[in-house]
């Protein structure tokens, strides 16, 4: 493991399955990787570590075990909350999950099994999502008399459109992976050898041009609500990239029909 990373966690773990790639594993398989307060703390701490690790260029989110990416919030650990506590609990989850959207590194969610409630809301903050064919997706909060409170009412409709998002939220149904791919939520659905194919995909992203990827994510994030701000970031980034060694490496590889070796310089 890279020197900057530690494994001093209770509910998650960090791995390095490929060069420049960190796997952040939700590690409560006996509880279907449900998300409790401790996991929220550790997810934020892990992002801090990964951003400080020079060799890490991309993050893969996945769940431990064979049953779930995450079945959502750990309701038992939440206990009875009053209005104020519930509001702060919602804000906290929104902020922690948002760290994966805000980090400049590409984030891939590798989903195998149940991806429900808060687990689905966490995956919404990834840049790309892949899933096994047997995976099931859903936001069951309406069946409990709640609503998705960790960003689901806002982020899902921005990803798949208002109509499809309302189908997921209001029906509280379990949707198969192929249906979520039709919605545009998933990049790919793998029928077999999921771990290998998902890791290969994430490793390919990690092997991309890190400077260009950082600026691309930044420009798209800034421009999502304000296109003028996003266009300005895009222009400044384009000019900056013309001075990088990575551009020369990419052009050389294109001319010679080789794979580029991006050094992040």
Q: What are the residue numbers of the active site?
A: 121, 141
Residues ≥6 apart with Cβ < 8 Å to 190: 130, 131, 132, 133, 197, 198
3-state helix, strand, coil in the chain (%, to 5): 50, 15, 35
The closest of 14, 149, 181 to 85, measured between CA atoms, is 149
What is d(CA 60, CA 136) in angstroms, rounded to the nearest whole number? Answer: 19
What is the DSSP pairing of strand 21-26 with strand 58-63?
parallel
Residues ≥6 apart with Cβ < 8 Å to 85: none
Q: What are phi and psi of 254, to 5 degrees?
A: -65, -45
Beta strands in 65-160 (DSSP E): 68-70, 107-111, 114-116, 128-132, 136-138
Residue 143 DSSP code: G
What is d(CA 36, CA 188) in angstroms, rounded to the nearest whole number? Answer: 29
For residue 68, the cross-strand partners are: 114
Beta strands in the chain (DSSP E): 12-18, 21-26, 58-63, 68-70, 107-111, 114-116, 128-132, 136-138, 175-176, 188-190
Q: Answer yes or no: are the C-beta atoms of 176 and 191 closer than 8 Å.
A: no
């Amino acid at each position: 493991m890279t020197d900057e990373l530690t494994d001093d966690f209770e509910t998650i773990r960090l791995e390095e399955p490929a060069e420049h790639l960190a796997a952040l594993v939700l590690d409560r398989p006996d509880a279907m990787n449900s998300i409790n307060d401790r996991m929220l703390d550790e997810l934020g701490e892990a992002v801090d570590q990964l951003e400080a690790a020079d060799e890490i260029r991309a993050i893969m989110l996945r769940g431990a075990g064979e049953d779930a990416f995450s079945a959502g919030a750990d309701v038992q650990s939440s206990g009875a909350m009053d209005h104020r506590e519930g509001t702060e609990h919602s804000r906290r989850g929104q902020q922690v999950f948002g760290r994966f959207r805000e980090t400049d590194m590409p984030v891939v969610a590798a989903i195998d099994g149940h991806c429900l409630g808060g687990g689905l809301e966490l995956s919404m903050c990834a840049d790309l999502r892949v899933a096994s064919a047997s995976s099931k997706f859903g936001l069951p909060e309406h069946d409990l008399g709640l609503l998705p409170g960790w960003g689901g009412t806002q982020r899902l409709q921005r990803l798949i459109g208002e109509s499809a998002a309302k189908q997921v939220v209001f029906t509280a149904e379990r949707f198969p992976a192929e249906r979520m791919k039709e919605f545009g939520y998933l990049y790919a659905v793998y029928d077999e050898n999921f771990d290998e194919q998902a890791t290969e995909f994430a490793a390919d992203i990690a092997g991309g041009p890190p400077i260009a990827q950082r600026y691309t994510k930044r420009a798209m994030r800034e421009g999502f609500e304000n296109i003028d701000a996003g266009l300005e970031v895009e222009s400044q980034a384009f000019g900056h990239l013309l001075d990088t060694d990575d551009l020369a490496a990419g052009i050389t590889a294109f001319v010679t029909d080789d794979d580029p070796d991006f050094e992040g310089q």
